[in-house]
Structure 1
């Protein structure tokens, strides 16, 4: 039987495949068989065993997640302590494993944590709190009536906040170090977030996104170890939060490449591989969401969530299809929460730790993306590190160039339903302003969607 099988399906080399693809795709051959990722990196849509370096593949696979599955972590907007408590309990009773509560700009005293967390055991259920308040103050509030061991953490990135608004990050990192000291036995409580969102939502391509976030990780490692925190304690207690975009295969490779980059960092600090366990939260992108045709966001979120889970995230946060609206509704949140459950239970994505392993194409994409990102990271380090590069304008210039390319691609040939095509009547999707006024602000603009870029983003940040 095996001889017959192989005679029916003889091996095909790349040249034979290209000829067949060109015959079938005709004029679409060029655009369908390769695509630009950015930063000089281009992916082909077909790879063979001969394209791979066995040692590099083994190294990529070795640093991937070893335990199947992920946490379903919906995001909840804080409104009132009792109302948010009811929403939290409802989510946990209907598929959520944890929760991310966005406290917004509310003062910690207004949150009334005993009411907010009534009936929730932080020993059993990880709850992440998103706020720009002092981390040590927040921990004091949430631990006051809790047990000795807490799960969850603080979903706040002081360095990213500094890039957006110019608020000093040094004192906040000192506060993070204080919380790390107070919680040294709470291995599942993560008091600081390292996010890609600030770069992703300002137009970063995947190479930039990974390189800048890797540089941010080193920034935190240096500050926290200088404050007396052990390198292993600092590394394993970070919450790495990654925006997942619409380029399905690229985003899978991005997450796998990120784990490879983090392995390089942990080894640079002489941490044992078997003890270094970065915790990665994948979050569906708000940059590619449509404000004019919100139901298309469900389709985009499905693709993004699949990329996140196949790429090996530890936690998944799916944004609702009207998450960008002024008042997200209950159905939007329910669909988002159920999407993670369907992928886990019905699609069986939660049964394999590294579903992408062994795919020639995804292995090559992961390796190429990691190598290109590492090269840019080293360039940042040679220039003095992330903080120095941001203060000199390097980060902003890089993001501005990438954002302009994204908008021009969307104008010329890239169709996104509800963003630049098939929008609602009266929706303004004017093309990019040719000669925008220049801003003297050194800080990054607030996070926006791509559709908003057509109306308000300048050609350079």
Structure 2
């Protein structure tokens, strides 16, 4: 079929573009992405004979939802069950204080942790992830659940007093439990910046590499830590930049793994919406959420949490939570975004943006 179409050279395209612009220079259409500027015109000749880079991205992704744990544990349980019934398979429980086993048992009543990917996030300075891990393990055992089927994640605030010895103890407990628990999390949410995407990427990669150094011991070498890591990053409203940043993160971390002589897959990447990006119009936010979600999964998110349209108000309704879930259901079940791995591979523009972000971020990483 391709033989029927005559190849069009870069010179011919530029000539046609010049006619359409009627004398205006193409440079006026250069797109700015923070520290990066790109021409809107890209041609196969610019590739220098290189083939498209198809990243080993996850086809499907987990559907997340943030659930803040209140003092009313029964109410929290109802909200959690409602989320699961609505199709969420990776809920994140946000705890602002340490809780007892009895409280966790109430929160997880009716939940089958071997069928979902439970995520726990401790936000307070005196966070005790070891205690929470012990409570969760006890819950699994008391409910006669096969520990080999447990996939979960444990994260804590960057301000929490959790040192290398504490993390080593967590690794020990996870190993003894037989459960698959992702920890620690390379939390890059607070690095988000559409104005400085290169700086954002450099900081996320630097934090991850620092974890390999900080938590490594003779018993738990960097390769072990990398196997248990997960990343958490944010996306804004710039569609193409979101895609390119997520693709660039994978390439950058692949370089780190290569430098450490590590094989295996890239740690999973959880994607959230950046704080402060919503307007005070829920309908506008609802529409924006669809393209933000599309860019996140196109870029290769392993887990995605869509921010409800009225989250800016501080009072999230059940309706907006349901719409946030359904955005992902539509992308999976109707639009089939989960059927193609790295769908933008071969896009000259996105690949160029990905490559430039990688080059600049890696140079900054090496320098720092």
Flag whether TM exceeds 0.5 (same fold): yes
Task: Show the 5 A alignment for 1:92-241.
Answer: 92-103=84-95, 105-109=96-100, 112-132=103-123, 133-147=127-141, 148-149=147-148, 150-158=150-158, 161=159, 171-184=162-175, 186=178, 188-200=180-192, 205-226=196-217, 228-241=219-232
Report Cα offsets for 1:332-355 as digits up to 9, x if no partner: 111111111111111110001211
Query: d(CA) in 1 for partners of 2:221 and 2:82?
Result: 38
CA contact (8 A) 1:157 1:192 kept: no
Query: d(CA) in 1 for partners of 2:156 and 2:349?
Result: 35
Report Cα offsets for 1:362-397 as digits up to 9, x if no partner: 2222111111111111121xxxxxxxxxxxxxxxxx
* 1:52 counterpart = 2:41: no
Which one is further off, 71-80 or 16-25? 16-25
Q: Which of 231, 246, 265 is the matching residue for 2:256?
A: 265
Who is 2:144 aligned against? none
Unaligned runs of 5+ in 2: 142-146
Q: Which of 60, 81, 85 is the matching residue for 2:77?
A: 85
* 1:298 counterpart = 2:278: no
Query: d(CA) in 1 for partners of 2:274 and 2:24?
Result: 28
| Shift, 1:285, TM fit | 2.2
Query: d(CA) in 1 for partners of 2:20 and 2:76?
Result: 55
Q: Which of 261, 278, 283 is the matching residue for 2:272?
A: 283
| Shift, 1:16, TM fit | 4.0
| Shift, 1:77, TM fit | 2.1
Q: How many residues align?
A: 357
* 1:359 counterpart = 2:347: yes
| Shift, 1:297, TM fit | 1.2
Q: Which of 288, 302, 305 is the matching residue for 1:317?
A: 305
CA contact (8 A) 1:239 1:279 kept: yes
| Shift, 1:38, TM fit | 2.2
| Shift, 1:175, TM fit | 1.9
Query: d(CA) in 1 for partners of 2:18 and 2:235?
Result: 31
Which one is further off, 175-184 or 260-269? 175-184
Equivalent residue of 1:155, what SS?
strand
Query: d(CA) in 1 for partners of 2:56 and 2:303?
Result: 14
CA contact (8 A) 1:51 1:364 kept: no
**Cα distance change of structure 1 residues 262 and 336 upon mapping to structure 2, 3 Å threshold:** same
